[in-house]
């Protein structure tokens, strides 16, 4: 069974601070996706990383996929209250099950004004 561990589980910071959340596994994933989920809504895809060592930037968010494709990080620069939400990482399966996503438990981020 492939497991994804996310840390920290909870994070409360002030507006303007920087933060990094982590997603780790002992398994190799074909791809790694990051989602943000707001209360009462479904997860919304932020980014997909595929290649080991890949770095992607989305405005103030920087995503990195580990060289061995087992871990990933999300860094947010100058956090804003609108960044508040549950950040989930999800690993894609391999071979014929590459459609199947395995999610971590998420990091619940609160950005205080």
Partner 1 sequence: GAGVSQSPRYKVAKRGQDVALRCDPISGHVSLFWYQQALGQGPEFLTYFQNEAQLDKSGLPSDRFFAERPEGSVSTLKIQRTQQEDSAVYLCASSLMGLAGGQETQYFGPGTRLLVL
The footprint of partner 1 (CB under 8 A) covers: 4, 30-31, 33, 40-45, 48, 50, 88, 90, 92-93, 96-106
Supply the minimum distance, in Å, between the C-beta of residue 112 and partner 1. Answer: 21
DSSP code string of 51-65? STT-EEEETTEEEEE
Helix, strand or coil, per DSSP, at residue 21? strand
82 or 96: CB nearest partner 1: 96
Cβ atoms < 10 Å from Cβ of 10: 10
Cα–Cα dist 11/69, whole Å: 25
Q: How many CB atoms lie within 10 A of CB 63?
A: 22
Q: Min. distance of Cβ 92 from partner 1 in angstroms?
A: 5
Judged by beta carbon, residue 13 or residue 50, the one nearer partner 1 is 50
What tokens appear for 9 in the block? 């589980």
d(CA 110, CA 56): 23
Shortest distance in whole angstroms from residue 75 CB to partner 1? 20
Nearer to partner 1, 45 or 78 (CB): 45
Least distance in Å: CB of 29 to partner 1?
10
Whichever of 58 and 78 has its CB closer to partner 1, that residue is 58
């Amino acid at each position: 069974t492939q497991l994804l561990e996310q840390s920290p589980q909870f994070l409360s910071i002030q507006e303007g601070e920087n933060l990094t959340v982590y997603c780790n596994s002992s398994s190799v994933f074909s791809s790694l996706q990051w989602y943000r989920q707001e209360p009462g809504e479904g997860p919304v895809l932020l980014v997909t990383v595929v290649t080991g060592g890949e770095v992607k930037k989305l405005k103030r968010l920087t995503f990195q996929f580990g060289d061995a494709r087992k871990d990933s990080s999300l860094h947010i620069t100058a956090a804003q209250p609108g960044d508040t939400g549950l950040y989930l990482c999800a690993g894609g399966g391999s071979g014929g099950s590459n459609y199947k996503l395995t999610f971590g438990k998420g990091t619940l981020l609160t950005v205080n004004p």
